[in-house]
Structure 1
């Protein structure tokens, strides 16, 4: 059997590559309005498709039933609690906003109490940096809070008006998740076979991508939920106003390494100390350091594992950049892009080292080196 001659790169090949790129960009632009729905559908499939496959085997190969059961489980465990949490969060934020507007919560009085609690030495230290008029500080702080609450009220109103878009996005996510849970292996094979990479490089990158997505979801979502729940319970037990809002904020900031939920509970503890509630402040600091703070140190290494551990500064920068570019979806997209970036360059390094090892083991190269440098 004759070996086909090597093909040369022709104009038609370049035209086809350009067409593939153009159509791919156009398709990505088409999906942009539902980027979040598609992303979460893919993530749900990556996380739970192995479970769906095992369940299908136990059900005698009935993939439709298995995928439906897994999807119903996701709705019961994740979707419905998230919707209920969002409704309660909106109600609590609206209640606090109304209490501030009606004067039941006086922001300037809170600032005045903090001012009165400051020691004289600290006041002189602050005055050295040009902050002398505390009344002006109170006024500016109060106006900033009012502006922020007005913006929050507008955002909540827009969320209510966008309920139809939310329902549509949720439907797209669940619909996509069902088919990916049922036929994920087949679609994954199609994607792998279509990638213009060498098989060993392709398989390594795909495996790393799946590993990073699963580890990111386990290491961020679980930690965020646990820290937020513990923080909410603690704030509620201490009688702190808006415990649900603080819980959600602590869960959100727990996504950021080196910052974490401390950005919420530390200022609250300082305020409690300044307000004279030393006991509550001490309890909050103790629980914040030894319970809430330890969740990240204990759970995250176990859930993420060593294979996907990245330097904390890389995780922090990629998460912040992802949140800035992609909104809430960025806490997945950012670290995954950073992990793939490191994986690609590790692949390049391994290939370069392999070439150098082959050259070092090649007898011809050894003879050439002996001739060039005779003893």
Structure 2
């Protein structure tokens, strides 16, 4: 018995060590692996339909599913990214030449403020226009350089980006072709009862679909609406602002307002009242309405999570995992809630099990064993 226990412990140690080493090897490509898994879940209905049409020819169905993803999603995103790089470069050039000067804009805002507010700002040392202008100009220049470098890095498509995309598409093919068998093997290896495993896997897939499709739909809609309004108002770099609003809209409730809100405030304090009022009304009742209506329907309803949990898990996921976190954060939160909901039932079952053992050992009333 001691020898068998020792063998079991050595095996567990070896299994844990090898698993950690394997995870360490895959860590540099976790983003590509994660998104291949996400896309496989999203493309699974299409894969099943193609299998029926093609009489269970897995390889051909998987290839067609990958091609459908490339045509419908990936290639349009590349075109948008190319246009964004071009427009971002133009905006960066205007900032370097002084055509766009945030220090001047801030000076215009301060000069338009009422006297009591200007005195209040003076107490905090915010009345020194020249210092603030130079500080804002320097900060804006540094920020623009950082943004431009990032955009140019993406636009030039570095080797790492190409490798990640290649790995993602390669894994997507195999996840679509062998996904059912892999899921069955993973399910069988998890030491839980069949019902719990089915519920957790179903919850995982549901949250993935709801988070990706819901958040991306809401973000793209808000970004497009905001960019259209910026173009209508004659704001330079409308596409760049649209993309920024799309990214910020991944944050529930407060996302797009962080972009159009300061612009509307600038319009109001500089005398462009109708532009400011129009942008505020449009932002609150059009862009904000999209968030308030679509997000609960597309995200909260399927994930069965409150809005504040979605917000906090999204913010936490973005801070920990970067852009991938807008999916990973809500998935972790949903799995936690699904697992925690089992605690009451599990605790009751454990107490019943202990009671049965007690009755078997001491009898139902503690008067002696019943067998």
TM-score (norm 1): 0.89
Aligned to 1:272: 267
Contact 1:68 1:178 (8 Å CA) reproduced: yes
Distance 1:369 1:133 in 2: 84
Matched, 1:155 2:147: no
Structure 1 residue runs without a partner (length 5+): 1-5
Find the residue that maps to 1:10 and give its secondary structure: helix
Which of 223, 226, 229 is matched with 1:231 structurally?
A: 226
Find the residue that maps to 1:258 and give its secondary structure: coil
Aligned to 2:51: 56
Aligned positions, number: 365
Aligned to 2:19: 24
Aligned to 2:182: 187
Contact 2:253 2:291 (8 Å CA) reproduced: no
Change (3 A) 1:155 1:260: closer
Aligned to 1:244: 239
C-alpha deviation, 1:127, in angstroms: 2.3
Which of 335, 339, 349 is matched with 1:340 structurally?
A: 335
Superposition pairs for residues 92-131 of structure 1, below 5 Å?
A: 92-131=87-126
Which of 294, 299, 303 is matched with 1:304 structurally?
A: 299
Contact 1:45 1:180 (8 Å CA) reproduced: yes
Matched, 1:42 2:37: yes
Contact 1:253 1:261 (8 Å CA) reproduced: yes
Find the residue that maps to 1:60 and give its secondary structure: coil
Superposition pairs for residues 315-326 of structure 1, below 5 Å?
A: 315-326=310-321
Matched, 1:221 2:210: no
Find the residue that maps to 2:255 and give its secondary structure: coil
Cα deviation 1:220-246 (Å, max 9, x = unaligned): 111111111111111112111111121
Contact 1:49 1:182 (8 Å CA) reproduced: no
Distance 2:291 2:88 in 1: 27
Contact 2:253 2:292 (8 Å CA) reproduced: no
Distance 1:136 1:53 in 2: 63
Matched, 1:256 2:217: no
Aligned to 1:143: 138
Cα deviation 1:75-95 (Å, max 9, x = unaligned): 112111111111111111111
Cα deviation 1:206-229 (Å, max 9, x = unaligned): 121111111111221111111111
C-alpha deviation, 1:192, in angstroms: 0.8
Cα deviation 1:283-313 (Å, max 9, x = unaligned): 2111111111111111122222535132333
Structure 2 residue runs without a partner (length 5+): none
